[in-house]
Structure 1
Amino acid sequence: MKKKKEQLTVAVTGLNAIDSPGPGVPVIRCLRDCPDRSFRIVGLSYDALEPGNYLHHIVNKTYQIPYPSAGRQALLNRLLLPMR
């Protein structure tokens, strides 16, 4: 009998795929190619127009996060918002 794959949730940043691409999309593709695990991929991006936000075939859900200049507390508040 085949053992059921455990699904892990992974949050990935760097979804921009423009002139200076971020590493997020290639990382997600590597995770999707892993035969031993199943992943729920949550994309985190600074801008609503980042191309990775629209790659629904590789990202399960995306959330916009504040720019680093907003500080750590702003990021933490945004990350905890979906759990409320």
Structure 2
Amino acid sequence: MISPEQVQTMIQERLSNAEVKVVGDGQHFEAIIISPDFVGKTRVKQHQIVYGALQSELASETIHALSLKTYTPEAWQANGQTV
């Protein structure tokens, strides 16, 4: 089993200057990621970047389900959100 904190750390190691919040039960996770690395990329590409950071955990089914919400810093601010 993997903790939300471990998932968060793996994402942060892959994405520079990312703000990440992960919640989950050990197999099913929801993540909000705000990163300047997403600027100019489609939502699909943003998600592929995150999946790449968790590739081995997804392939081994350590992570069974992952719901992503990805934002550029500008999009996050435009929504008036906080992590």
Which bracket does the TM-score occupy, shorter chain normalised? 0.3 to 0.5
- Structure with bigger helix share is 2
Higher normalized contact order (CA 8 Å, seq sep 6+, divided by chain length): 2
Q: What's the TM-score, normalizing by structure 1?
A: 0.34
Bigger CA radius of gyration: 1
